[in-house]
Amino acid sequence: MNKALLNTENQLIINSNLYSNISDLLLKGIATSTAETKELIHQIEAKKRCEKKLKTWISSENIYYPNKLNIEQTSSEITAQYKANLISGESLIDLTGGFGVDCYYFSKRIDHVYHCEIDNSLSQIVKHNYQQLGIENITCLAESGITALEQEKRHFDWVYIDPSRRDDTKGKVFLLKDCLPNVPEHLQLLFKYSKNVMIKTSPLLDITSGISELCNVKTIHSIAVKNEVKELLWILERDYNGTIAIKTVNITKENNQIFDFNLNEEYPANASLSEPLTYLYEPNAAILKAGAFDILAKKLNLKKLHKHSHLYTSTKQVNFPGRCFKIETVLEYNKKKFKRGFKSTKANVSTRNFPATVQQIREKLNLKDGGDDYLFFTTDLDNNKMAVICKKA
């Protein structure tokens, strides 16, 4: 950690080149008497990646940035704040601290937080940044979280872990047992020192697979931001053996779309099917990830267009966690009939349970992207291909 990067001269170079061409900067060189060109470039690239994700860090002075990979792997402030709102108590230990965004928000809800990071350089960076951010109730430990947990030999209200989804031999991994550290292998150790365990995993982890690898799962959160699933959050409680609650949230500028259910409710729900009625509904990404396909229809009194389409319909409009459309007409997927029924050359195209891709449909029907019309190409309850023409409700 070269603290000279924080002096006035170097900070001016970093901040004035956030939108510069990196290749040009490397060619001409921007070294100063206290910092090399590559060091300055690393700060520029890392800070630029934080622009939308970490506004608190960006707006603070004398923040030191780690490498780009650390920034890519860190939680956003939006998801970190969501996690923090789920906890309370006197103590929490984060076994895989990283850049420290989650701990920053945990510290606002917990009296004392331990940030463990095996990379000594990153640990020093995080410690420095907490000082700049005015955080005094976080202790930074430059060691393995598992080692720190055993050495502390004390009870924590919460253990938090975000296992690395990369390793030296397999690259990106998705099963919990292949992550570092191996959470299933260390679970009993975690429960030895805390009743409550929170695990953050990739949205690519299959929920059924995760449940099979873990024990005492109490709640699973499927968290999306602007309709993109960012992470799965697993809440485990020692000795808990009840029903698993699934909580989905899609965080948008306007509001938080929330839909909750119990895992054992989905299998027997068996939604009714229907032809398209007056309104069409498309669930948000958090719900689709959580697999709330039939229970969504049952709880909101909706019907599905097809068992495998996951598009819903109703005669009366309902408050829906996703997008809602007013159906204009329904057309058979046939080029001549479609052209007679839909005159515009521009539309927003989506597919669900349909053999052709959006690009193939656009080419076949000569459709440009955009406009006020929304076309859903899907399969009806009799397995016929159709286009549902809609406008936003």
User: Exposed, middle or buried: residue 264 (CB in 10 Å: 0-12, 13-18, 19+)?
Assistant: exposed
What pLDDT does residue 68 have?
Answer: 82
Q: Are strands 217-225 and 245-251 parallel, antiparallel or unpaired?
A: parallel
Domains in the chain: ranges and CATH: 3-71 (1.10.10), 73-242 (3.40.50.150), 269-392 (3.30.2130)
pLDDT at residue 210 in the model? 95
Q: Strand 279-283 relative to strand 312-314: parallel, antiparallel, unpaired?
A: antiparallel
Q: CA torsion angle for 41, 43, 44, 50 (degrees, to 10)?
A: 150
pLDDT band at 179 (very low <50, low <70, confident <90, very high): confident
Question: Contact at 8 Å (CB) between 285 and 227?
Answer: yes
- What's the CA angle centered on 336, arms 332 and 342, to 5 degrees? 70
Q: Can you tell me the distance from the alpha carbon of 131 to that of 153, in angstroms, rounded to the nearest whole number? A: 27
Read off the pLDDT band of 186 (50, 70, 90). Answer: very high
Asked whether residue 315 carries a pLDDT value surpassing 70, the answer given is yes
In tens, the pLDDT along 29-70 reads: 999 889 899 999 999 999 999 988 999 999 999 999 998 888
Is pLDDT of 26 > 80? Answer: yes
Task: State the pLDDT confidence band at 268, using cuts at 50, 70 and 90.
Answer: confident
Which pLDDT value is given to residue 178? 86
Report d(CA 338, CA 230) in Å as an integer: 37
Does the pLDDT value for residue 170 go beyond 60? Answer: no
**Residue range 361-382: mean pLDDT, rounded:** 95
**pLDDT for 369 beyond 90:** yes
Measured in whole angstroms, the distance separating CA 255 from the mean position of its chain's CA atoms is: 17
Q: Long-range contact list for 181-187, CB < 8 A, 24+ apart? A: 181/95, 181/96, 181/144, 181/145, 181/146, 183/213, 183/214, 184/213, 184/214, 186/146, 187/214, 187/215, 187/236
Integer Cα distance of 354 and 133 in angstroms: 51
Instruction: Name residue, tokens 């509904």.
Output: 281
Distances in Å between the alpha carbon of 137 and those of 110, 112, 357?
A: 9, 5, 52
Where b means 16+ CB within 10 Å and e means fewer, 362-380 reads beebebeeeeebbbbbbbb
Give the pLDDT of residue 168.
57
| Contacts of range 167-173, beta carbons closer than 8 Å, 24 or more positions apart | none
Instruction: Enter the pTM of the model.
Output: 0.92
Single out the residue of 162, 323, 317 nearest to residue 231, CA to CA. Answer: 162
Asked if residue 234 has pLDDT above 90, the reply is: yes
**3-class DSSP assignment, residue 376:** strand
Q: What is the average pLDDT across 313-319? A: 97
Of 27-31, 60-64, 279-283, 327-331, the one with minimum mean pLDDT is 27-31
Tokens of 363: 């080419």
Task: For residues 146-161, give the mean pLDDT.
Answer: 93
